[in-house]
Amino acid sequence: NQVKVIDHPLLRHKLGYLRDKDTYSHEFREIVKEVSKILVYEAMRDWKHLEPIAIETPIAKTMAERIVKPPIVVSIMRAGNGMLDAVLSMIPRASTGFIGIYRDKFIHNTVEYYFKMPQDVQNKEIILCDPLIATADTIVAAIDRLKNYGVGKIKVISILASKTGLERILHFHPDVEIYTVNIEEQINELGYLVPGLGDAGDRLFQ
């Protein structure tokens, strides 16, 4: 199964605050960070690239492990930037990419205005961050673009994702894994998740 819904009492508690329209922006930002750490923790669960390293504790010599070949953390701007620092704090050796992309309601298509990846992306694993997946137009366009660059496995972390959006991602990209807190049943005529949490970019940055 490519879709992992991380069901946990702490996440359900935090999601309530994210959904609540009366949650202040500074609180919303903090909670997005907390949830992002939990999602990336789950996304890294099957990470295979660990290297043994000899260290000394204050008491004795021992062996430890270090993550090698760290993934590239990619933010879909602007809302993905609300997740980025938290994810990087969990994987400090990761490099970072940015994709500026939005759904244009007049031309009914996605528009890319920025694309910046680190130097060597060939076969590198990707953690792709965007708090919301509604129609999935944005994330599918981002995945298309990353695959054209020859990246390795892509894991998406997203706080809420619509049922149709998830189906759409897996229709085009069945190899992608998606980690989310909840699957939303509906999207309204404006393209917002229902009940959702509103526009994640606006909630984060006002």
Interface with ligand HSX, residue 82, by CB under 6 A: no
Determine which residue in the list 35, 126, 132, 157 makes contact with ligand HSX, applying CB under 6 A.
132
Angle at 156 between CA 154 and CA 160, to 5 degrees: 165
Q: Is 198 in the site for ligand HSX (CB under 6 A)?
A: no
Residue 184 interacts with ligand HSX (CB under 6 A): yes or no? no
Among positions 5-64, residues that touch ligand HSX (CB under 6 A) are none
Q: What is the 3-state secondary structure (H, E, C) of 94-126?
A: CEEEEEEEEEECCCCEEEEEEEECCCCCCCCCE
Nearer to ligand HSX, 150 or 195 (CB): 195
The residue whose two tokens read 């989310």 is 180
Nearest to 39 by CA among 201, 203, 206, 177: 177
Six-digit token string for 204: 């984060």
Least Cβ distance, residue 54 to ligand HSX (angstroms): 44
Alpha carbon of 73 to those of 24, 119, 189: distances in Å? 27, 13, 32
How many of the chain's residues bind ligand HSX (CB under 6 A)?
Answer: 17
Helices (H), 91-190: 137-148, 163-172
**If binding is defined by CB under 6 A, does position 135 make contact with ligand HSX?**
yes
**Between 35 and 70, whose beta carbon lies closer to ligand HSX?**
35
Which CB, 16 or 191, lies closer to ligand HSX?
191
Q: Indicate the residue among 72 and 160 with the shorter CB distance to ligand HSX.
A: 160
Enumerate binding residues for ligand HSX (CB under 6 A): 76, 79, 103, 130-139, 165, 191, 200-201
